[in-house]
């Protein structure tokens, strides 16, 4: 009986020692401290909570916040959204207190820990017909409201934008300048988001969605 009790006691003590020695590494320095949650290969993996200078609760992978979670900084502001290897990545909301003492929220998308805007993409070429070889689009600044579209014909002839079919948003005016093998159309006073089908004089067309407000430069190359 005493031997059985002794063996049981040794087993319990050994279990406590093993549990105390088990490590579950959190690799992000500012939240490293006390971790409670799931582990794999001695690293935080799965659901967990880690508290250091800052605090994070949510999904972990290989010791880093990855997936969906909530990160709280030591000054009290916090982010709820998606992470990748410890960085904000994808959709989320940042909550903080403004200088006036009021709560403020920034909603949108983050890429490599930096806020990129309300939308994941500033613009998107949704479709184009086969004779449109290439479409390049650039956001020049986020303060303007004009879209400049240059149409270039690679081999002979001149193509112009003959029609604009608006699906979302509006514009006030458009004017076109014709050059050798090139036409330049300027669309002014656009309201965003702006989605439209731009039809060329050949009948070819391209559909573009402009999410963010700003001045855009678009180049369409036609075969």
pLDDT tens for 181-214 read: 899 999 999 999 999 999 999 999 999 999 989 9
Identify the residue with better confidence: 120 or 45.
45
Report the domain count for the chain: 2
> Is 127 found in the same domain as 113?
no
> Is 44 found in the same domain as 15?
yes
Nearest to 170 by CA among 136, 145, 138, 144: 145
Domain of residue 103, CATH code: 2.20.110
Q: Which two tokens stand for residue 17?
A: 């020692």
Q: Which domain holds residue 170?
A: 123-222
Q: Which of 101, 117, 133 is the last residue of a domain?
A: 117
> Is 161 found in the same domain as 65?
no
> Is 86 found in the same domain as 18?
yes
pLDDT tens for 3-17 read: 333 333 333 333 333
pLDDT tens for 153-172 read: 877 778 999 999 999 999 99
Does the model's pTM come out above 0.75? no
C-alpha Rg value of the chain to the nearest Å:
28
Query: Are 221 and 154 a contacting pair, CB within 8 Å?
Result: yes
Q: Which two tokens stand for residue 26?
A: 């959190």
Query: Are 49 and 35 a contacting pair, CB within 8 Å?
Result: yes
Q: Which two tokens stand for residue 219?
A: 């180049």
> Is 160 found in the same domain as 106?
no
> Is 64 found in the same domain as 95?
yes
């Amino acid at each position: 009986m005493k031997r059985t009790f002794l063996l049981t006691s040794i087993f319990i003590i050994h279990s406590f020692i093993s549990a105390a020695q088990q490590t579950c590494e959190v690799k992000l320095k500012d939240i490293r401290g006390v971790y409670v949650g799931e582990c794999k290969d001695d690293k935080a993996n799965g659901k967990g909570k880690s508290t250091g200078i800052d605090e994070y609760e949510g999904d972990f992978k290989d010791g880093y916040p990855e997936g969906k979670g909530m990160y709280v900084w030591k000054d009290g502001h916090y982010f709820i959204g998606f992470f990748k290897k410890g960085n904000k990545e994808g959709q989320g909301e940042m909550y903080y207190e403004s200088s006036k003492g009021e709560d403020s929220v920034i909603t949108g998308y983050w890429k490599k820990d930096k806020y990129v805007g309300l939308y994941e993409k500033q613009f998107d070429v949704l479709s184009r017909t086969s004779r449109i070889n290439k479409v390049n689009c650039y956001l020049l600044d986020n303060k303007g409201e004009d879209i400049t579209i240059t149409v270039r014909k690679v081999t002979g002839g001149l193509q112009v934008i003959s029609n604009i079919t608006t699906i979302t948003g509006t514009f006030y005016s458009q004017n076109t300048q014709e050059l050798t093998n090139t036409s330049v159309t300027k669309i002014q006073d656009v309201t965003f988001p702006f989605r439209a089908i731009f039809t060329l004089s050949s009948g070819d067309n391209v559909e573009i969605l402009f999410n963010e407000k700003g001045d855009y430069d678009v180049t369409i190359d036609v075969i």
